Amino acid sequence: MPPDERRAAIVAAVLPLVVEHGDALTSRQIAEAAGVAEGTVFRAFSDKEELLSAVVDAVQDPDAFERALAEIDADAPFEEQLVEATELIRKRVVAVWQVVSQLRGKVRERASRPLSESGGLTAIFERERHRLRVEPAAAARLLRALTLSLTHPLLSAEPAPADEIVSVVLHGIERVR
């Protein structure tokens, strides 16, 4: 396996351990989760801090999020596309929060792109521009902001379902008469 692929595989295997154990995970746990020998882990990463930084980078990677958005079926009904996109946002918010809260102060956090900027989410709204009273980029910002605030464990006691978030963004909260 090429070194970059090996590093990515180790990071993917270690991510759930970081959520569970934070930086207290052991090199044995890392190796077992990755299905490799401990020496292999430390040939891929110079030390545990470098590995943990790679986990933070991976979970905050905006490109992975954009690739997932691009996989949403553009032929699906608009609201279904938005619900799927909202689920992706929710998963990302929780994953980032879990990892960063476990490792706060232990590794350098990477500055990621602001939540308001997502070409993939804007593209979904762009395809239905004729239905919108705001610009697609503004609609994308609204959906991401509302999803963040109704998903983040420190901001919302009970996360709102994705379909409810999409309904509020598209139709507001007023009862239909």
Report yes or no: 89 and 160 within 8 Å, Cβ to Cβ: no
Full domain range(s) for residue 34: 3-58
Per-residue confidence (pLDDT) for residue 115, from 0 to 100: 53
CATH number of the domain to which 32 belongs: 1.10.10.60
Q: At what angle do helices 136-149 and 119-127 cross, to 10 degrees?
A: 120
Q: Residue 176 falls within a domain, yes or no?
A: no
Q: Which one of 34, 58, 82 terminates a domain?
A: 58
Does one domain contain both 66 and 147? yes
pLDDT in tens, 55-104: 998 998 889 999 999 999 999 999 999 999 999 999 999 999 999 889 87
Q: Which one of 32, 58, 84 terminates a domain?
A: 58
Q: Residue 159 falls within a domain, yes or no?
A: yes
CA 95 to chain centre: 6
Does one domain contain both 115 and 72? yes
Per-residue confidence (pLDDT) for residue 99, from 0 to 100: 92
Q: Which one of 58, 85, 104 terminates a domain?
A: 58
Does one domain contain both 100 and 18? no
Does one domain contain both 50 and 66? no
Distance between start and end Cα atoms, the chain: 61
Count the domains in the chain. Answer: 2
Does one domain contain both 91 and 160? yes
DSSP per-residue letters across 63-80:
HHHHHHHHTS-TTS-HHH
Per-residue confidence (pLDDT) for residue 82, from 0 to 100: 98
- The runs of H, that is alpha helices, within the chain are 3-21, 27-34, 38-44, 48-60, 62-70, 78-103, 119-127, 136-149, 162-171
Question: Which token pair is 151?
Answer: 């998903």
Q: Residue 177 falls within a domain, yes or no?
A: no
Does one domain contain both 27 and 109? no
Report yes or no: 82 and 124 within 8 Å, Cβ to Cβ: yes
Does one domain contain both 53 and 112? no
Q: Tell me if residue 44 falls in helix, strand or coil.
A: helix
Does one domain contain both 47 and 67? no
Does one domain contain both 51 and 107? no
Per-residue confidence (pLDDT) for residue 109, from 0 to 100: 54
Residues of the chain with pLDDT under 70: 106-116, 177
Per-residue confidence (pLDDT) for residue 88, from 0 to 100: 96
Per-residue confidence (pLDDT) for residue 174, from 0 to 100: 82
